Structure 1
Amino acid sequence: MAPSPKQLRKVALAGATGTVGAPILKALLEAGHTVTVLTRSTSTSALPSGVPVQRGSYEDESFAASALAGHDVLVLALNHTAYAAQAPLIRAAAKAGVRYVVPCEFGSDLAHEKLRSELLVVGEALRDVGVDLVKAKEPYRALAEELGVAWLGVTTGPWVELTMRLGGYGVNVTKRAAALLDGGKTRASITTLTRVGESLAALLALPEGELATYGNGWVYFSSFTVSQRELLDSAIRATGTREEDWNVVDENSDGVVAKCKEGLAKKDIMSGLRLLTTLSFKEGYGGDFSAKVVDNKKLGLEPESLDEVMKGVVAGFNASA
């Protein structure tokens, strides 16, 4: 499939220095979009030189509407503790005539009912400590629709670099240990932070007729659809070790899920995070959404190399040691 022709847009980005916001900003600029960063007046975070910055209160709709005037897209990449700021920004976007908003999603496939039902359990258990992967996000999509702004819900699966750093795939590079669920054969769709940014920037460069087809719905990005076994093999190559150097154990996914839910009952955040990544590699829970992923060729993106990404992850571990 040949890449679609480009239609560059004026994009406003809130959360430009965060974990996912920074690679999104970099990719938007490299793709040729005109980018304005929205940030709080109290922020001291460094931004690339030459990028227009609008500083003010996210809760000040007059400020936000003025800052968003003339923009086509508003991308929200805010920390989960700042989700509430999306409402005034979306209302301001509607007033300014912004056509698309990308709300704070960038995670699991919430359109998969079986997975969604499990994530609702996590949200109910951890709502008091600010972790809600489903219900906390719904009002902002609904608000955008109500106001006539098309939302684009980005699904990426677990972010590779962050999840590897937390040992969330069951592969611990520093300890040379791996816990494989049900033999480690179930595959899941995962995305590097770099590819999250590149994919979104490329999507937003599609001609209007194509981009509009994604409005008020989910769009899926992925770097790789791999098994834990494949991740372990790549980590072994990246570290220059042998499997005999690793402590590899097999775990029953049902048992891990049950243990995670015991932890959730005690408001343990790490149990919730482990349940999320466990379900990614549990058969039948929507971790593999490769059939829904936007074709990288359509977006004009080259395939990534798992081994090269893994080498970068290992180098990061070595640098921080």
Structure 2
Amino acid sequence: MASEKTIRHVALVGANGTIGAPILSGLLAAGHKTTVLTRPGSNANFPSGVTVHIGDYNDENFVVPSLKGQDVLILALGYTAYDAQIPLIKAAAKAGVPYIVPCEFGSDPTHPKINAETQMMNVKAPFRKLIEDLGVSSWIGVVNNPWVEFSIRLGLYGIDLKKRTATFYDDGNVKANFTTLTRVGESLASLFTLPESELSKYKNEFVFFSSFYVSQRDFLASALRATGTTEKDWTVTSVSSDQVLQAAREPSADTTTRMMSLFALVFKDGYGGDYSSRVVDYKQLRLESEDLDALMKSLAKEIIQ
């Protein structure tokens, strides 16, 4: 029998961002008492029922009182704002916040092969260490691989719905786990409804979210169904994942080249993209399976004008 839902006090920073907005929606749907911290000058509007504190993240006199009585602090800041976590993490310790979710929301930082290939995976580790060193809060890191809606809109899985092109890494048959932005928000919110006896198992650990366990060819097959086309209507090519990785290793490689290597790694066998054996128990979180074709049809309608 499912245990009763626990409602917690949750503070969220970055609530109007790419991942922050679906997290906020998930928290509200789950019934958590939600507080948003935002900077002065933000023009974001938040739903009724959300407590909003506006101030400077570097101002301890603002942040610490805002975090008093919170059970969880979720940091959903953009990649270029990671250092803004430092004063927030320190303030959370002073406020006695039990759990912090730092800016993770990516591929598996525990996998040695992906970490050996890209330093982009390692920039997040110091923030987890800071939480541990302060000795008050526990962190929970989120692994979700590149977000589905975000990646398909930008063609980052190699599938371009508008141009009808597909570029496979190698043969395109390697399966990996992928998570929608919506499911990340729902999953995180549901995780914090678990009783402390269950939630505490994730202290200073990663939780693995997943919407779909699919390959590039599976994504293409769904795109064909969504658009009512056949593969003959598309331009399908392939690229060597080893060549993509070699280009990213070059000292002269730009940020885009290095970023694209992450997608090559996700679709490369043995590099951590497949974490299907570690996915959180969605029955315990009371969340139903998602429909890839329904999502693809929605994206195709949005993208193809």
1:314 aligns with 2:300: yes
1:228 aligns with 2:216: yes
Q: 1:171-250, aligned counterparts within 5 Å?
A: 171-250=159-238
- Counterpart in 2 of 1:58? 57
Distance 2:256 2:143 in 1: 22
- Counterpart in 1 of 2:139? 151
Distance 1:253 1:38 in 2: 41
Structure 2: gaps (5+ residues) = none
Q: Is the 8 A contact 1:4 1:300 kept in 2?
A: no
- Counterpart in 2 of 1:139? 126
Distance 1:4 1:287 in 2: 32
Distance 2:282 2:52 in 1: 31
Distance 2:3 2:20 in 1: 25
- What is the number of equivalent residue pairs in this alignment? 304
Q: CA deviation at 1:254?
A: 1.6
- Counterpart in 2 of 1:167? 155
What secondary structure sits across from 1:18 in the alignment? Answer: coil
Q: 1:40-119, aligned counterparts within 5 Å?
A: 40-119=39-118
Q: Is the 8 A contact 1:4 1:299 kept in 2?
A: no
- Counterpart in 2 of 1:23? 22
Distance 1:245 1:274 in 2: 26
Q: Is the 8 A contact 1:61 1:88 kept in 2?
A: yes
Q: Is the 8 A contact 2:178 2:212 kept in 1?
A: yes
Q: Is the 8 A contact 2:100 2:137 kept in 1?
A: yes
Q: CA deviation at 1:251?
A: 2.5
Q: CA deviation at 1:298?
A: 1.1
- Counterpart in 1 of 2:31? 32
Q: CA deviation at 1:3?
A: 4.3
Distance 1:18 1:77 in 2: 7
Distance 2:249 2:156 in 1: 16
Distance 2:271 2:2 in 1: 32
Instruction: Return 76-85 or 298-307, whichever deviates more.
Output: 76-85
Q: CA deviation at 1:261?
A: 3.3
The alpha-carbon distance between structure 1 residues 146 and 170, as it changes in their structure 2 partners (threshold 3 A), is: same
1:279 aligns with 2:227: no
- Counterpart in 2 of 1:258? 246
Q: CA deviation at 1:215?
A: 0.5
Instruction: Return 166-175 or 222-231, whichever deviates more.
Output: 166-175
Instruction: Return 193-202 or 163-172, whichever deviates more.
Output: 163-172
RMSD over equivalenced CA pairs, Å: 1.3
Name the % identity.
53
Instruction: Return 211-220 or 80-89, whichever deviates more.
Output: 80-89
Distance 1:165 1:39 in 2: 27
Distance 1:311 1:214 in 2: 35
Q: Is the 8 A contact 2:266 2:273 kept in 1?
A: yes
Q: Is the 8 A contact 1:31 1:201 kept in 2?
A: yes
Instruction: Return 48-57 or 149-158, whichever deviates more.
Output: 48-57
Q: CA deviation at 1:267?
A: 4.1
Aligned match of 1:291 in 264, 277, 302?
Answer: 277
Q: Is the 8 A contact 2:247 2:253 kept in 1?
A: no
What secondary structure sits across from 1:299 in the alignment? Answer: coil
Q: Is the 8 A contact 1:41 1:56 kept in 2?
A: yes
Q: Is the 8 A contact 2:11 2:74 kept in 1?
A: yes
Distance 2:8 2:104 in 1: 21
Q: Which amino acid aligns with 2:170?
A: D
After the TM superposition, list the runs of 4 or more consecutive aligned residues in structure 1 that deviate by more than 4 angstroms.
none
Distance 1:231 1:175 in 2: 15
Residues 48-103 of structure 1, C-alpha deviations (whole Å, 9 max, x = no match):
23311000000011211100111100000011222111111111111111100000
- Counterpart in 2 of 1:124? none
Q: CA deviation at 1:167?
A: 1.1
Q: Normalized against structure 2, the TM-score is what? A: 0.96
The alpha-carbon distance between structure 1 residues 4 and 253, as it changes in their structure 2 partners (threshold 3 A), is: farther
Distance 1:32 1:189 in 2: 28
